[in-house]
Amino acid sequence: MPLTTPSVFPAASAAFMKWPSRRSVVHSTKGMVACTQPLAAKCGIDILNAGGNAADAAVAVAAGMNLTEPCSTGIGGDMFCLYYDAATGKVSALNGSGRAGGKCTLETIRKSLDIPEGTVGKIPMDSVHAVTVPGAAAGWVDTVERFGSGRLSLEQILTPAIELGVRGFPVSELTAYFWQKSESSLRSASPNFAEMLKPDPSAPDGYRAPRAGDIIRLPHLAQTFLTLAKEGKKGFYTGRIASELVKVVQDLGGHLTLDDLSHHLETGSEPVAPISLKFTGQGLSPQTGVELWEHPPNGQGIVALMALGILQHLESISQIPTFTPEDHNTTPYLHAIIEALRISFADASWFVTDPNVTRVPSAELLSPEYLAQRAKLFSPKSANSDILSPGDPYASPALSSSDTVYFAVSDAQGNAISFINSNYGGFGTAIIPKNCGFTLQNRGANFSLDPKHPNVLEPRKRPYHTIIPGLVTNLADDSLHSVFGVMGGFMQPQGHVQVLLGQIVGGLNPQQALDAPRVCIGAGMPDEGDVYDRTVYVEEGMPQSSVDGLRELGHKVEVVSGQGRALFGRGQIIRWTVDDVERESGVWSGGSDFRGDGGAYPA
């Protein structure tokens, strides 16, 4: 039996709001969409109201997000999802990530980048060699085919987004900020930049990035969606779109070919077995505990599972206490989370890669014996500077924040989907195939160019992936607890741990768990600092006593405010409970990060 609705909320308190946010939890019995863009959410709500299920609506939202937040996501990127089927209670995973080109050997790319012999080097984020085959288009189609209701066609599902692109829409505040910040990148990346700028006769060349509230039309992207809707995956991975994609890449010196796109068409998205960890720590029991589900490698969800497992073991041997709600975001609480995450990232940075090319020992990494061994690195009295040394060549390739969109969708039948789609960094490479209206991702920058590393670049290989959807079930009966996620590169597993524990330890409702100040270990984008720096970034609003305490334990702490808080990601949560009296009546309860433009919207 799912938990009852009162479990969503903390105990009654005279405190109105612990953090500077006035958002309340949103409830619905018919389903919900939680995402960073209201207009994209409406695309999903339209599909739910038309009889589609959570999976159908998620694809509609993904397309809407490509239009309304192209500075984070798009059909030129990759996607992952976790799907909860209410009828069977089964959790399924879909890997919609693309691969390196068949001609992208280590020798070829090193030569193309003029990397000197004896130097490891790296693929720059803005390089054409960072382009991997886009997996999102196939992922959208496969999501509908494998998890969809069967009541709506792909064309019906994509129609709300297509109409948005043709008719135009006003741009939200944060999207406008990042669009303007990236205008120079769009202009320099390819000759087709005008397709993703606003026509304006007063601009020097007649085009500019949109400002907040400006109406922008993206007809080329709408046409790409229409082609996918009418022709399916074949319309994207062969024909005009494929030819223009390959042409712009090759014109810029890249090595992708039409065969690479055909290969992905034939291969499709990969159904994979999700990985999980049963968590009974912090006052939970086998009856009240939860199971956290994550997407397996090549994604980094295993980091969140390992960190929770380490924390669970530390509690069992009395190295950390069973924290109370009053302990949430105190020094001992944050210190334990920070150190558990450092240990987990140190392992993931070496082991996480494409399991179809190199074996990834997920089961061994999550075994109680191994986690107990790794937990020995923890000291409650000081930060361990030896877990991951600055400049370590095998430090996580994901030690950077990135631009991604995460969203959650549920429906009236009790199904729910945790969905994430990303360009990787911002507009990705910002390269636009002619008359296609989307940018190509730069996920290939996550490959290692060290031949000894498991994540080394190889032809037709998928890189270490930062994007991870999350899903939680109740241990007692495997019923759904929640779908959730926190987007933002290296921040994602850190956000998963903090947001989930905020609800378990802090007794926070979904909105409060997202509102609470967060910490992030590791620097920002590679072009903004040393990604191997050991700084613990602390969000403005964290108690000063906690900041001081972390410093006393030996952590290098920096408080982040203003626009810099984008580092801490943007999350969404949708909880599932049943009415306390009418046990047959289910309730969806959603929260949406105030760091984004959107919200949680009921069907």
| Model confidence at 20: pLDDT above 90 | no
What is the token pair recorded at 242? 């494929």
Q: What is the mean pLDDT of the chain?
A: 91
pLDDT of residue 355: 78
497, pLDDT greater than 80: yes
Q: Which of 5, 175, 227, 404 is catalytic?
A: 404
pLDDT score of 598 more than 60: yes
Chain segment 388-427, per-residue pLDDT in tens: 543 343 344 333 445 577 899 999 999 999 999 999 989 9
Dihedral (CA of 350, 356, 362, 365) sign: negative
Pairing of β 90-96 and β 78-85: antiparallel
d(Cα 228, Cα 138) in Å, to the nearest integer? 9
Least confident segment among 98-107, 170-179, 298-307, 525-534: 525-534
DSSP string, 374-443: HHTT--TTS--TTSS-TT-TTS-TT-S--EEEEEEEEETTS-EEEEEEEEESTTTT----TTT--PPP-G
In angstroms, how far apart are the furthest CA atoms of the chain?
70
Residue 404 is among the residues annotated as catalytic for this protein: yes
What's the average model confidence in pLDDT over 27-55?
A: 97
Residues 535-582 pLDDT 10s: 899 999 999 999 999 999 999 999 998 888 888 989 999 999 999 898
What are 196-251's pLDDT values in tens digits?
Answer: 999 999 999 999 999 999 999 999 999 999 999 999 999 999 999 999 999 999 99
Say if residue 529's pLDDT is above 80: no
pTM for this model (two decimals): 0.92
Q: Kindly provide the b/e burial profile for residues 459-479, where b requires at least 16 CB atoms within 10 angstroms of the residue's own CB.
A: bbbbbbbbbbbbbbbbbeeeb
- The whole-number pLDDT of residue 15 equals 54
Is the pLDDT score of 362 beyond 90?
no
Q: How far apart are CA 491 and CA 467, in angstroms?
A: 10
Using one digit for the tens of pLDDT, what is the confidence trace for 143-173?
999 999 999 999 999 999 999 999 999 999 9
Distance, in Å, from the CA atom of 139 to the CA atom of 80, rounded to the nearest integer, reads: 8
